[in-house]
Chain A
């Protein structure tokens, strides 16, 4: 009985660790220059959550080409529009992915690109509006390597 209990406790413990470690890893400080790039882009200001919708697969079987679609809520008029959106990937050798520059002539703050992800990691988007306000969104993408499951 005691042994089973220990085993159960171990299994439970293992499950607990697996469950808690993953979100922690996802929120951990980026290992590459992601934080630096973000700081440079935001000028050290805090970006609020919201306005951005990121469409990324939860699991990417091929990290070489991961479809990424962006939508930012904005009227895109000449006095209220999305100026720039920075994308960083915090688990790539270089965090920089792309910076998209919109104008009121874009009509919509929407774009799609295809990106490379070296491993399971966060993709972070930060939008800079014409009034200087900042919004951010992040999404974790599990990258399958060599088909053995992420």
Chain B
């Protein structure tokens, strides 16, 4: 997971507005079902967890299984009551975590 995750959300929102957040992280999501040229199974290596929090409070998270496509795309919503910072984290099977942050301001 060398690439920077791609995150799409508006820069500002009205108080109480529900915004849509789109995220995508580059990852092979090796399912553990495939075999290499020698017929040996390729070990599973996936992103097993994704979490999003806003100003330290959980918004949305998910546990992912090998049935998730490569380069996992996750789209969800969030209600904005105050300005602040979204934190995103993807956890790999090997324990490494890719983190990202996005700020959002209140309109008007």
Residues in chain A within 8 A of chain B (CB atoms):
64-66, 76, 89, 92-94, 96-108, 110-118
Contacts and interface: CB of A to CB of B under 8 A. Distances in A.
Contacts of B78: 105-107
A2 B77 CA distance: 65
9 contacts: A98-B62, A98-B63, A103-B59, A105-B79, A106-B76, A107-B77, A111-B62, A112-B73, A113-B62
A113 B54 contact: no
Contacts, number: 94
Instruction: Among A64, A99, A104, A114, find the residue whose CB has the most chain B CB atoms closer than 10 A.
Output: A114
Contact of B66 (A99, A112, A116, A117): A116
Contacts of A102: 60, 76
A65 B67 contact: no
A100 B64 CA distance: 9
B100 interface: no
B18 interface: yes
A76 B18 CA distance: 11
Contact of B68 (A76, A98, A103, A104): A98
Contacts of A101: 58, 60-63
B107 interface: no
Contacts of A92: 67
Interface of B: 18-19, 31, 33, 54, 57-70, 72-79
B59 A106 contact: yes
Nearest to B59: A105
B59 A94 contact: no
A65 B70 CA distance: 8
Contacts of B58: 101, 103, 105
A89 B70 contact: no
A94 B64 CA distance: 12
Contacts of A89: 67
A87 to B, nearest CB: 8
B73 A107 contact: no
Contact of B60 (A93, A100, A114): A100
A96 B19 CA distance: 29
Given A111-B60, A112-B73, A113-B73, A106 B65 contact: no
A145 to B, nearest CB: 15
Instruction: Among B58, B59, B61, B67, find the residue whose CB has the most chain A CB atoms closer than 10 A.
Output: B67
B20 to A, nearest CB: 8
